[in-house]
Amino acid sequence: MNNPTLDKTSQETYLDNLLQQCQANSPVIDAEYLQNLRKNAVSQVKELSLPTRRDEEWRFTDLSELYQLEFKTAKPEKVTQQIADIFILPEAQKSCIVFVNGQYVSELSNVSALSTDIYVGNLNNLSDTQKSKIVKYLGKQEGEKDAFTALNTAGFKDAAVIWVNPNIVVETPIQLLFIAVASDTPTLIQPRTLVVAEKGSSLSFVEYYGRLEQCSDVIQNQPYFTNSVTEIWLEDNAQINHSRIQRELANSFHIGKSAITQNQDSRYTCNEVNLGAKLSRHTLQILQNGNQTETHLNGLTMIDNQQISDTHSAVLLNHPYGVTNQLHKCIIDGNAHGVFNGKIFVPKPAQVTSATQLNRNLLLSSKARINTKPELQITADNVKCSHGATISQLEADELFYLQSRGLNETDARHLLIDAFAAEILERIPVNSLQERLTQCVACRTVDA
């Protein structure tokens, strides 16, 4: 058990208290399908239990500190345009929507650069016609049910929505900005995102989780808990490049789930970077729902001190000629603990499949830890698949070589760490974001 004092009854009480918080602060919803969605989620929460280290999928991730805190639903907070501009990418100044503590802020959002063939906004502002289309997608992703996802659905107030009409190519990168504002009490924030790319469409978007401390002698910034859910649908021949950036406060908790369904000939790329939070967990579930479907997963985790970062992914290749490539890197320093568990399923129907998976880990201190478990489950007989994991430290001969070329030991270490991270960061399609994250990695390397 995670926490010896948190028995089964206590866990049920804790989860019920979180559910009551969500229900007490949720707005009245007129749409019948949303009422039913929330009602079903409430029933799921009551049937499910919170994960512990006795659960196979959570055995390396200790949630006891999370369970010791009594969270209240986050209240609206005022964020100025000047502060929001710190997080908004230059390429997305007129294609960005902003949520603060999970609530849409229209005055900080600007989508004037986008055509009428694409909707970028919040769920509550959809037209009646658009809302009728949402029914097919919202809350309809397949996959395992879990308490955190059900809790998000039971209590979500609004959602970020991207909807691209058929055969529309969106050249401008879109940013979904979620700002968490710390307060004097532990708070629960539940962002929700829905992205639908219709047949033949193409887009690139950034899902960015930033944080804001309140500087005051009166307010002591307490931990907050971001519980996010993102649903992405790609219809036939659609293409999405998705960059997911997590930079929460150092004392916060972040548990996120991304569920993606790809139809025939679609192409999905995820560039994931995890830098913040005391404890973070991201679960990726991808269903290839058609022939000749491509999935590319690129990930970077950089943690130090006492941070815990857990990445779980599952790719289901259910049709012939599927392709998936995954490369996830971890840079771990101090007493930090990284976890990677990637699964690729290749059943009998998925003939002529190509799948590769690699987890590379760089440990910078003697107390840094990594638990890695890449998995391939194959029953098809005409496939090309490989998987593996590496755990290493900085190579002495590489340090020696750089020092022989005039660098001191510290600069040589920084150069090697930056190069290790660059392989992932260079795949991010938004230049300013790539540069910003490169600088962030460099700064953390110097601080270390």
Which structure tokens are listed for 230?
Answer: 């993102």
* pLDDT mean across residues, the chain: 91
Which structure tokens are listed for 179?
Answer: 């700002």
Output the CA angle 173-155-252, nearest 5 degrees. Answer: 65
102 closest CA partner among 196, 183, 209: 209
Q: How confident is the model at residue 353 (pLDDT cuts 50, 70, 90)?
A: very high
- Give the pLDDT mean for 251-267: 97
pLDDT of residue 409: 75
Length of the chain: 448
Which structure tokens are listed for 388?
Answer: 């593996």
Instruction: Tell me what percent of the chain is helix, strand and coil, each rounded to the nearest 5.
Output: 25, 35, 35
352, 378 contact by CB (below 8 A)? no
135 closest CA partner among 52, 196, 59: 196
Residue pLDDT, tens place only, 173-191: 999 999 999 888 999 999 9
Output the CA angle 19-22-26, nearest 5 degrees. Answer: 145
pLDDT of residue 402: 77
35, 29 contact by CB (below 8 A)? yes
350 closest CA partner among 319, 376, 378, 381: 319
Residue with tokens 């009998």: 348
What region does 10 belong to: left with phi over 0, alpha with psi -120 to 50, or beta? Answer: alpha
Residue pLDDT, tens place only, 427-447: 999 999 999 999 988 886 644
pLDDT of residue 2: 42
Residue pLDDT, tens place only, 108-150: 999 999 999 999 999 988 888 888 888 899 999 987 789 999 9
Which structure tokens are listed for 396?
Answer: 């002495």
What is the reported pTM? 0.94
CA atoms within 13 A on the CB side of 240: 32
The C-alpha atoms of residue 275 and residue 441 are separated, in whole angstroms, by: 9
Q: Which amino acid is at 353?
A: T
